[in-house]
Amino acid sequence: MKKLTIFMGIVDFLIAICFCLFYGPNKDFRNTLISTAMVTKTHQYIAYTFYSEETVKKVLEANSYTPISDKIDLSKIKFDTEEDDTYDNEYDKEIKTRDPGNDLYKYLKVKVGNYDAHLVAIYDPSKVELITTKTFNTGHGAERVPKMCARLGGVVCINGGMFADPDGWGSDIPLGYLIKDGKVIWSDSNDEAELIGFTEDHKLFLTVDTAEGAIKNGMKDALQFGPFLIVNGKQMSYNSESGGYDRAARVAIAQRKDGIVLFLVTEGVHTKGPNLKEVTELLAKYGAYNAANLDGGTSSQLVINGELVNKPMNVYGKVITGGRSVVSGFGLIA
C-alpha cells in the first residue's frame, strides 16, 4: 500500500508539472509548442490536442508579420567598397576595415539576440553568384554546402532555397524558382513568388514576380524564399514583440548602399534561435539597405575556405556533421 501511495504521489506531481507547463502563467512553453507544431505541418494536431482553436490562432497571429509592400529602388545602391578612413559608426568601421591581405571578405563573429552568429562582408558583389547542386530530381544530386562550394570554386558560401524533404534528410528536388545567368533552370509553377537574387549589375534584387518577369526586369541569379526583411532601408514590421515566425537557426543575405554584400548565419536549433526581428535589427546595425531571409533551421550552413563554420543541428539538437544536403544558395566565387 505504501508503494502504491508513493507511486500515486509521483504521478500527481508529474501531472501538476505538466499542467503548469501547458496552462500556467508562463506562456513561453505554450507559444513554443504551438509555433513548432504549426510550422512542422504534419504535427499540427499536437497544438489542437492541448489548446483551443482560438488560442492557437492568437499565438500564430502574435508571431506573424506585415510584409513590406514597397517596390525596391536599386538606384540608391552606389558601389563604393574601398576601405575608408572615416566611418558612420562602430559597425560601419567593423565592416569596412579589411583584414590584412584579404580584400575578398571579412568574417565577424556576432550575437543575434542571445545567440552566436556569423557575419561575412563580401567586398566585390560581382563575385556573388547563385550556387546549386549538379543535378535536380535525379535521386543522387543533393549536396552539402561544403561540397557544393568546393566544386564551384567558392570561397564563402551559404545555403538558400527551398527543396522537397519527404524524409527529413533533404533531396535534390528544388521548390519554387531557380534562375541562373538570366535563365530559368527550375520551376514548379507559373505563379508570382518572393524572389531573392542579383541583377546583371550585381545589385541584390528582391521582388514578387514570376521568374520570367524578374528576368525581364534585370534578374540574373535568383532563388525563391522569404520574407524580405529590409527594403530600401525600411524594416519589416511585426505584430508583436515575438518578432515573427518561431525561433530557429537563421540564414539571411543583405546588401548595403555601398554595394557590400552581407551573409549572416546564426546558431540555433528548431525551437531555439533568433527570431526574424532580431535578425533584421542586426543586419540594419551593419548597414543593410536591402535584406531577405533564406532557408534556416537544420539547413543552415556557412562555409569559409572549405570549412563549415557553424554547427547545423537537427530537430533533436544533434549536430549534423558536415551539414545537411540542400539544393541551392549563394557563394563568393573567386
Percent of the chain having pLDDT more than 90? 63
CB 135 within 8 A of CB 152: no
Of all residues in the chain, what percent carry a pLDDT higher than 70? 81
pLDDT above 90: residue 69: no
How many CB atoms are closer than 10 A to CB 75? Answer: 7
Chain segment 182-217, per-residue pLDDT in tens: 999 999 999 999 999 999 999 999 999 999 999 999
What's the pLDDT score for residue 12? Answer: 45
pLDDT exceeds 90 at position 16: no
Q: What is the pLDDT of residues 156-167, one digit of tens each?
A: 999 999 998 887
pLDDT digits (tens, 9 = 90+) for 246-292: 688 999 999 999 999 999 999 998 668 898 999 999 999 999 999 99
Q: Binning pLDDT at 50, 70 and 90, where does residue 32 land?
A: low
What is the average pLDDT value for the chain, to the nearest integer? Answer: 86
Report residue 243 as a C-alpha cell: 518578432
* pTM (two decimals): 0.84
Average pLDDT in the 120-140 region?
Answer: 95
Cell of 62: 502574435
Amino acid type, 131 = I
Q: Residue 244 and residue 195: Cα distance in Å, rounded?
A: 20
What local confidence, expressed as pLDDT, does residue 144 receive? 94
Rounded CA-CA distance 120/265 in Å is 9
- The answer to whether residue 298 scores a pLDDT higher than 80 is yes
Q: What is the CA radius of gyration of the chain?
A: 22
Q: What is the pLDDT of residue 286?
A: 98
Identify the residue with better confidence: 199 or 316.
199
**Concatenated DSSP letters of 110-146:** EEETTEEEEEEEES-GGGEEEEE-S-SSSSS--EEHH
Note the pLDDT of residue 309: 96
Are 295 and 228 within 8 A, CB to CB? no
In this predicted structure, what is the pLDDT of residue 207? Answer: 97
Residue 125's φ and ψ, nearest 5 degrees, are -65, -20
Chain centre to alpha carbon of residue 30:
24
The rounded distance, in Å, linking the Cα atoms of 170 and 165 is 5
CA–CA separation, 243 and 260 (whole Å) = 26
Q: What is the pLDDT of residues 227-240, one digit of tens each?
A: 999 999 999 987 65
pLDDT value for 264? 98
